[in-house]
């Protein structure tokens, strides 16, 4: 099993145990691949949920550019809801898991089809 497969398994486990959802492994794999080399960098693989500029980056670069959503307060509300689901006290909020939940929340699975 390669490094990426190990990471995908780790993300799936987080979705099951910390977020209470059964992951769609095909979609999770595509979202993880979409994160590119960031998943191999200890700093970039997680989302700093307490850093407003980091959350703004997730909104701009992922929700608006990647998923093609229009800017609006609902984007930050969605990010906030995902962070809440993941658990605010959870130290490592993996980027692929956060992005996966956002894709599901907005019904944008077709972006990864």
Check: CATH 1.10.238.120 for 3-112? yes
Task: Indicate if the alpha-carbon torsion angle 55, 58, 59, 61 is positive or negative.
Answer: positive
Q: What is the pTM of this model?
A: 0.96
What does the pLDDT look like over 58-90, one tens digit per residue? 999 999 999 999 999 999 999 999 999 999 998
Please give the C-alpha separations between residue 40 and each of 3, 7, 32, in angstroms, as whole numbers.
Answer: 9, 9, 11
CA-closest candidate to residue 63, choices 44, 82, 43: 82
Q: What is the pLDDT of residues 2-21, one digit of tens each?
A: 999 999 999 999 999 999 99
């Amino acid at each position: 099993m390669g490094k990426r497969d190990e990471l995908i398994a780790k993300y799936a486990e987080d979705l099951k145990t910390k977020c209470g959802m059964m992951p769609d492994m095909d979609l999770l794999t595509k979202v993880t691949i979409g994160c590119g080399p960031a998943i191999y960098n200890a700093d970039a693989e997680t989302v700093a949920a307490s850093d407003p500029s980091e959350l703004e980056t997730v909104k701009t670069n992922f929700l608006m550019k990647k998923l093609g959503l229009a800017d609006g307060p609902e984007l930050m509300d969605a990010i906030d809801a995902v962070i809440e689901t993941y658990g605010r006290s959870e130290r490592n909020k993996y980027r692929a898991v956060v992005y996966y939940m956002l894709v599901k929340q907005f019904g944008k699975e077709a972006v990864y089809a």
